[in-house]
Amino acid sequence: MLALASDHGGFELKQAVKQYLDQKGIAYTDFGCHDGEACDYPDMAEAACQAVAGKTCERALLFCGTGIGISMAANKIPGIRAAACSDSYSARMTRAHNDANALCMGGRVVGPGLAIELVEAFLTTEFEGGRHSRRVDKLSQLEKR
């Protein structure tokens, strides 16, 4: 189960990604927003990220105008490792090396075709573990300081 959320700047892109997920039969919960009315990305990130941190959902797909604001909000939630990506290499490597559990995209930065490539890379790439586990563990330690 994926957790989806966006503000108004990412709403249309989220809708396009939902269409792709529906076609693929990939389950998700959309934590809002549910229309294009202006709203605040920290509010929208919170419920989706709590679902991932609480293990109700496996990973989050988050959207705002740039992908940046919502990634900043997501990374404030303990247990969330969110990456704002606009290229496939980064979307793949943030899974392989950072064990990212939230992919953030900008509706004013990437089009729907590229967004779907990013989502595919993010969903199909496994964490490599090994030396990267030590580094990801250190990220968790930073949350406790």
Catalytic positions: 64, 97
Nearest-CB residue for ligand RB5:
69
Contacts with ligand RB5, residue ranges (CB under 6 A): 7, 9, 41, 64-66, 68-69
Could you tell me how far CA 83 lies from the centroid of its own chain? 7
Q: Give the count of beta carbons closer than 10 Å to the beta carbon of residue 27.
A: 11
Q: Give the single-character DSSP code of 9.
A: G
Distance CA 87, CA 144 (A): 31
- State the minimum distance, in angstroms, from the CB of residue 132 to ligand RB5: 28
56: left (phi over 0), alpha (psi -120 to 50) or beta: alpha
Residue (72 or 96) nearer to ligand RB5, CB: 72
- State the minimum distance, in angstroms, from the CB of residue 65 to ligand RB5: 3
Residue (5 or 116) nearer to ligand RB5, CB: 5
- State the minimum distance, in angstroms, from the CB of residue 80 to ligand RB5: 16
